[in-house]
Amino acid sequence: MNHRPISLLPDVLISQIAAGEVVDRPASVVKELLENALDAGASEITIRIDGGGIQRICIQDNGKGIPKDELELAVMRHATSKIQSLNELECVMSLGFRGEALASIASVSQFTLSSYPAGQESAYSISNQSGSWLVEPSPSSPGTTVDVQSLYFSTPARRKFLKTEQTEFFHCLDVVKRMALANPSVTWLVYRDGKLQSRFQESSWSARVFSILEPMANGASKPIEVQAADMQLHGAVGLPDAARGKGDMQFFYVNGRFVKDKLINHAVRSAYEDVLHGDKFPAFVLFLNLPANEVDVNVHPAKTEVRFRNARAVHQWVRQSIQACLAPSRAVVPLSESPASAQVVESPASGNSNVWRSSSGSTSAVQVQPKSAALPFLREELADYIQAYRPLEPPPRPTQIIAQPKAVYAEPAQHPAEDTDYLGQAIAQVHGIYILALRPDGMVVVDMHAAHERVLYEQFKNALDNQQTISSQELLVPLLVQIDPRLASEVDNGQHLWEKLGFRLSLISTQEIAVRAVPTMLAGQDLSALLQQWLEDLHQYGVAHVLERQRNEWLAGLACHTAVRANRKLTVPEMNALLRSMERTERSDQCNHGRPTWRHFSLSEMDKWFLRGQ
Ligand code: ADP
Ligand code: MG
């Protein structure tokens, strides 16, 4: 082959190559331009998208603008006002910092940027005209407008990868929603082919979340706000019952930046493991804030991935915080509450009693940090949501009319009905499967096996937490298991874990372990695949996660076998005992497989069935 000398690439080509990563589709152009508008402090942003964004994307903001003599720099590669040194990169809080978005976008489109910064006598625009830049006066309102037309006209290969205009438009809209969820104090207007498509008016955070993610409204989600040392997690998590068939309502932000991160996804997913049914996807909008130098945001050109300095700690803390938020059952009446403080149930913020708590001692939930100007998301906006949040209407204080429910078939209640008995008084067993209970305001139907299974499971977990070990059986002949040499160090690192789970194992070489004792309930099973998987998980997520997950899996199996089976006749006192223990059990709204354990039917709902009073 002929020798071709090495030569530097022309500038535009470099930008076009970068564009392949930074702005691979119209939605990423929208994302970059919106990040710029937010970094410029805009409070109102108008987005116009024509022809799926391929024809035109025009974004207008009322932010601080760009002075005339900086316009040419703004569209140059590696030119930014956001960082100046490696030091600043390591603690960057702005959304942008790479200084390549405008250059990349301009290299693959017909591009005009007009800006009118405060203090300048008029507006100026810069546009790319046949290979060079033209700066000229332009009529423009205060702020910046970026007009991107004929996207990828110069790179037709890229254009071939785009989907239909409809699909591309909805990707653009998704980007706007992500940004709008994190910035409720900004007003957003989206026009599609000239028509107003969506408008998100400046609002409280809860109003913003419920307007964009309707299925999270009406008690289907719970607020969360926890803080440990220098990490803070807040937002809303969907209840397991409200989980979805697809992962379309999962929003996670790190220091205000929307990210799709494997580690985080895994942490959230495993927080729901114990309460989520089958292949359901939980809904959540969560904001994790931590010092900028604890997280590397410069991992990917599109800045949607991050790397945490202490990944395992973040994983564990996020998982435990969400778990703790989900743990209290709606039926739980906190045991520790004295009758006087039980009135707290009536107060609007009562559903929030869990918010500051965490399931294990390893998390210290402490007071809120003073508001930091650097955090793009304002805590006060969340506070509003927390004030308004109520998990389920508590049973009303009995009044003359509904205090003595006239249940024709009711056996006399075994003890006087108390209005703190959230799940009411059992009156009958239905078809050997359900318990029917009366509440002053209606009735409750409980799936008896599912409920009992959860109660037992939680009891087993507690018992084990206190006793600390699982019974184990020595093997006469040690079992030899091949392992990936990459994971060899985890065998020693995990000694504490093995012991707790009832294993005794040691490393023979870098690729073989000897198993000398196994948990009794696993005796006789092929354990090599299981152990390999644990070592892998241990490597990625740390001991706490593996320990809890494996242990819980076994205990769930045990609970399922032990719980009352269908058709076992229960006496009324037995049924009431089950209801009362549900009220004391965490996660008792779902069985171990994530199915609901009880339903409430209010009198007013029943009146509707029979068209009473209509
Ligand atoms: P980056 O955002 O990484 O700095 P960009 O190429 O996106 O790089 O933008 C380059 C520079 O142009 C920014 O640093 C900022 O100073 C300026 N800029 C871009 N968009 C806007 C805007 N909408 N309002 C004000 N300044 C802007
Ligand atoms: Mg930018």
Q: From CA 562, how far away is CA 592, in angstroms rounded?
A: 13
Q: Is 117 in the pocket of ligand 1 (CB under 6 A)?
A: no
Provide the β-strand partners of residue 195. Answer: 192
Give 56's contacts (C-beta < 8 A, 6+ positions apart): 48, 49, 50, 147, 148, 149, 150
- Expressed in angstroms and rounded, the spacing between residue 88 Cα and the centre of ligand 1 is 16
Strands in 420-570 per DSSP E = 425-430, 434-439, 442-447, 472-482, 504-509, 512-519
587: phi then psi, degrees, rounded to nearest 5: 60, 20
Distance 430 CA to ligand 2 centre (A): 62
Strands (E) located in 498-561: 504-509, 512-519
Helix, coil or strand: residue 426: strand
Q: Is the CB of 301 under 6 A from ligand 1?
A: no
Gyration radius (Cα) of the chain, Å: 29
Does residue 65's CB lie within 6 angstroms of at least one atom of ligand 1?
Answer: yes
Sheet (strand 257-258) strand order: 221-228, 231-238, 284-289, 250-254, 257-258
Question: Quick check: CB of 602 below 6 Å from ligand 1?
Answer: no
**CA-CA distance, 82 to 319, in Å (whole number)?**
33
Rounded to whole angstroms, the Cα distance separating 57 from 150 reads 9
pLDDT of 594 higher than 80 = yes
- The best mutation among 14, 21, 33, 36 to test binding of ligand 1, ranked by most ligand atoms within 8 Å of the C-beta, falls on 36
Q: Measured from the CB, is residue 101 less than 6 Å from ligand 1?
A: yes
Q: How far apart are CA 9 and CA 359, in angstroms?
A: 56
Nearest CA owner, ligand 1 atom 17: 74
| Mean pLDDT of the region 397-424 | 44
pLDDT in tens, 422-475: 899 999 999 999 999 999 899 999 999 999 999 888 887 887 777 656 678 898
CA distance 86 to 95: 16
For residue 36 and ligand 1, the question of a CB distance below 6 A is answered with yes
* Count of CB atoms situated within 10 Å of the CB of 32: 25
pLDDT digits (tens, 9 = 90+) for 465-511: 776 566 788 988 998 999 999 988 888 887 877 887 778 988 999 89
Q: With CA atoms as reference, report the closest residue to 428 among 446, 453, 406.
A: 446
Compute the distance from residue 100 Cα to the ligand 1 centre, in Å.
Answer: 9
Q: Residue 331: what are its φ and ψ, rounded to 5°?
A: -85, -10
Give tens-digit pLDDT for 53-95.
999 999 999 999 999 999 999 999 989 999 888 888 888 889 9
14 pLDDT exceeds 60? Answer: yes
Q: What global pTM score does this model have?
A: 0.78
Q: Are 293 and 91 in contact (CB under 8 A)?
A: yes
Query: Which residue has its alpha carbon closest to ligand 1 atom 13?
Result: 80
Of residues 221, 588, 155, the one with CA closest to residue 389: 221
pLDDT at 223 (0 to 100): 92
Residue by residue, what is the 3-state secondary structure of 465-499? HHHCCCCEEEEEEEEEEECCHHHHHHHHHCHHHHH
Task: State whether the beta carbon of 40 lies less than 6 angstroms from ligand 1.
Answer: yes
Of ligand 1's listed atoms, the one at least distance from the Cα of 59 is 23
